[in-house]
Amino acid sequence: MWKFIIAAAAAFMLWKMFMGDSKRRKEEAKQERETLIAKGEMVKDPACGAYVSPEDSVQASIDGQTRHFCSYECRDAYIRQLRSGSNDNKG
């Protein structure tokens, strides 16, 4: 019986240790992302609003400006939206 209690207590302590570390890493990553956004080292995806690194983004030249997207899906959706908006203005 005592072995079970000691094993359960040890398992609980390990679980708390790893879960606390996971939460700390998530918080540090969030703070780092916010710092990069504030420094201007990350740009906002115009389609979904996610922040991405310009080096890792999917890029498209639209109206003479380079736009940065988090994925090809967001890029394609943004282009479709621009095309449908320009078609609505012509008619």
Instruction: Supply the pTM of this predicted model.
Output: 0.57
Phi and psi at residue 6, to the nearest 5°? -65, -40
Q: Is the same domain home to 29 and 49? A: no
pLDDT category at 88 given cuts 50, 70, 90 is low
Overall domain count for the chain: 2
47 vs 14, 35, 40, 81, CA distance in Å?
A: 42, 22, 19, 9
Task: Provide the residue range defining the domain that includes 75.
Answer: 42-91
Digit-coded pLDDT (tens) for 14-59: 887 777 777 788 888 888 878 877 777 889 999 999 999 888 899 9
Short-list 58, 55, 88, 52, CA closest to 73: 58
Whether the per-residue pLDDT at 89 is higher than 70: the answer is no
Q: How far apart are CA 67 and CA 55, in angstroms?
A: 12
Q: Is the same domain home to 54 and 87? A: yes
- Cβ–Cβ < 8 Å for 27, 44: no
Q: Is the same domain home to 52 and 63? A: yes
